[in-house]
């Protein structure tokens, strides 16, 4: 297995990105990812009760078709809380992409990120789609990964190559996310592409497992968004024997989990205004779920996060957060260890000594810059 710190698209995938006019900055704000052949798809969405229009459209398209070929993504506008017009706009964008590419509308998935509650400037998107389609290429991933960003300070993309039954399979992941990060899922968009031949059922299972161990284990500020999506396409062009069972999927799942975890860590490291990357390792819980609950409670504690920002060894804040988590614990058995707080990467180790459950949560510190970024975001 080989990890590549860049986005090398698998066989049959192309992408493009450009500025269509949604962002006042003039930066790229529209991306298109395509498979040259129909691909199996799996998606996971936010559990927020308020969900953006592109999510509802993508859900319908996933139910209507077993294969998909394109993902259209805009930044600068979430197209959320926009009523029937928002749904119509998202569907209209999907149809415009389908018409230009010569595929069915239900083969197109849609994602948006940005400001909530503002109508989407759909005419600007539709006008740019023909040029976006003409620009599709393997190298177009460089522009596409920039076009999905909002408050991010850097792009997040990587690839893994792995041999499966003698065939080289590539998994490529691209993500955005910086603030408003909290399970389930973080305020993020993630797009993963593979040329592996894998059944739709197994694809869905391995994606969910990988997301649970990565994107659902990160938090920057404990705030859940309305547009969070992870979409994966698998077009089978690697020519490997079909992965159609859990046993056959072991190696693929390992590679996919690596891609998701590395992307998740990048999101935390790019946490809005953050200066430190924090790992919270919880062991000795009665169950894995309780371990995760403890980790997230500590990670979302503003008191803990500000103490780590300042390098303040006020460990009582960690103890208090553990006790408020609702997990079973005994004060006499609780053990906490913290690495030096002056470092850029801080590790908090918590042992409840109650059982065999464990979990690792990733978060960032809370700084004055976070307040400034979000106070001015509009």
SS3 letters across 349-373: EEECCCCCEEEEEEEECCCHHHHHH
Say what the pLDDT of residue 314 is. Answer: 87
Question: What pTM does this model have?
Answer: 0.92
Buried b (16+ CB within 10 A) or exposed e, 221-236: bbebbbbbbbbbbbbb
Last residue of a domain, one of 269, 290, 315: 269
Same domain, 218 and 202: yes
Give the residue numbers spanning the domain of 329.
277-376
Would you say 183 and 21 are in contact if contact means Cβ atoms under 8 Å apart? no
Which one, of 262, 138, 253, 257, lies nearest residue 198 by Cα? 253
Instruction: Give me the CATH number covering residue 185.
Output: 3.60.70.12
How high is the pLDDT of residue 187? 63
**Which residue, of 269, 285, 307, is where some domain finishes?**
269
Q: Hey, what are 68's tokens?
A: 């998909």
User: Does one domain contain both 295 and 177?
Assistant: no
CA 104 to chain centre: 26
The reported pLDDT for the residue numbered 185 is: 60
Whether residues 194 and 146 fall in one domain = yes
Please report, rounded to a whole number, the percentage of residues in the chain having pLDDT higher than 90: 83
272: exposed, middle or buried (Cβ count in 10 Å: 0-12, 13-18, 19+):
buried
Structure tokens belonging to residue 91: 């569907």
Number of domains in the chain: 2
pLDDT at 186: 57
In terms of domains, do 59 and 109 share one? yes
Residue 53 near residue 216 (C-beta atoms within 8 A): no
Same domain, 212 and 294: no
Do 41 and 73 have their domain in common? yes
Burial 137-174 (b: 16+ CB within 10 A, else e): eeebbbbbbbbbbbbbeebbbbbbbbebeeeebbbbbb
Both 7 and 125 in one domain: the answer is yes
The structure tokens 């052949």 sit at: 37
CA distance 248 to 359: 26
d(Cα 137, Cα 36) in Å, to the nearest integer? 11
Looking at residue 375, its pLDDT comes to 79
Determine the pLDDT at residue 108.
98
Same domain assignment for residues 176 and 315: no
Query: Tell me, what's the pLDDT at 376?
Result: 75
Tell me, yes or no, whether 230 and 303 share the same domain. Answer: no
Q: Which of 248, 269, 290 is the last residue of a domain?
A: 269
* Annotation says 187 is catalytic: yes
DSSP reduced 3-state for 143: helix
7 and 152, same domain (yes or no):
yes
Contacting residues for 193 by C-beta, under 8 A, at least 6 apart: 9, 10, 13, 33, 35, 171, 172, 173, 232, 233, 234, 235
What are the 10-residue block averages of pLDDT along the chain, 378 residues in total?
91 98 95 98 91 96 94 96 97 98 98 94 98 98 96 94 97 84 68 98 97 90 80 98 97 97 93 89 97 94 93 92 94 96 95 97 90 74
Collapsing DSSP states into helix, strand and coil, what is residue 73? strand
pLDDT in the model for residue 54: 97
DSSP β-bridge partners for residue 3? 160
What is the DSSP track for 150-199?
SS-SS-EEEEEEEEETTEEEEEEEEEE--SS--SSS-S-EEEEEE---B-
Query: Angle 210-212-218 (CA atoms, 0-180°, nearest 5)?
Result: 110
Cα 194 from Cα 377, distance rounded (Å): 35
Q: Are residues 186 and 206 in the same domain?
A: yes
Regarding whether 285 and 187 lie in a shared domain, the answer is: no
To which H or E segment does residue 242 belong?
Answer: none
Half-sphere exposure of 259 (CA within 13 A, CB side): 35
Alpha-carbon span 155 to 350, nearest angstrom: 32
Tell which residue, 72, 56, 211, has the closest CA to residue 147: 72
Catalytic residue among 187, 219, 231, 367: 187
The CATH number assigned to the domain holding 330 equals 3.10.20.340
How far apart, in whole angstroms, are the C-alpha atoms of residue 307 and residue 284?
Answer: 25
């Amino acid at each position: 297995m080989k990890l590549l710190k860049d986005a090398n698209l698998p066989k049959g995938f192309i992408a493009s990105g450009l500025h269509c006019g949604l962002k006042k900055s003039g930066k790229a704000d529209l991306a298109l990812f395509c498979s040259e052949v129909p691909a199996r798809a799996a998606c996971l969405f936010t559990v927020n009760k308020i969900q953006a229009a592109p999510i509802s459209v993508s859900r319908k398209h996933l139910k209507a078709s077993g294969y998909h070929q394109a993902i259209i993504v805009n930044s600068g506008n979430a197209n959320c809380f926009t009523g029937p017009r928002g749904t119509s706009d998202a569907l209209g964008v999907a149809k415009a992409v389908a018409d230009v590419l010569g595929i069915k509308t239900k083969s197109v998935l849609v994602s948006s990120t940005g400001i909530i509650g503002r109508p989407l400037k759909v005419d600007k998107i539709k006008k740019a789609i023909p040029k976006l389609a003409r620009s599709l290429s393997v190298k177009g991933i460089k522009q596409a990964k920039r076009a999905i960003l909002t408050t991010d300070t850097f792009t997040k993309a990587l690839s893994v190559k792995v041999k499966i039954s003698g065939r080289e399979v590539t998994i490529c992941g691209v993500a955005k996310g910086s603030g408003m990060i909290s399970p389930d899922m973080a305020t993020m968009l993630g797009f993963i592409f593979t040329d592996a031949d894998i059944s739709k059922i197994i694809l869905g299972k391995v994606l969910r497992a990988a997301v649970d161990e990565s994107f659902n284990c990160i938090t920057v500020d404990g705030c859940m968004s309305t547009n969070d999506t992870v979409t994966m396409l698998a077009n089978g062009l690697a020519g490997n024997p079909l992965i159609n069972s859990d046993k056959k999927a072991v190696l693929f799942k390992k590679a996919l989990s690596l891609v998701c975890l590395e992307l998740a860590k990048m999101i935390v490291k790019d946490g809005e205004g953050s200066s430190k990357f924090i790992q919270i390792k919880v062991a000795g819980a009665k169950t894995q779920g309780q371990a995760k609950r403890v980790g997230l409670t500590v990670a979302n504690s503003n008191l803990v996060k500000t103490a780590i920002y300042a390098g303040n060894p006020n460990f009582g804040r960690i103890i208090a957060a553990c006790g408020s988590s609702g997990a079973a614990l005994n004060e006499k058995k609780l053990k906490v260890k913290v690495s030096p707080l002056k470092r850029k990467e801080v590790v908090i180790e918590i042992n409840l000594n109650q059982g065999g459950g464990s979990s690792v949560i990733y978060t960032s510190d809370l700084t004055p810059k976070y307040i400034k970024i979000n106070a001015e975001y509009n």
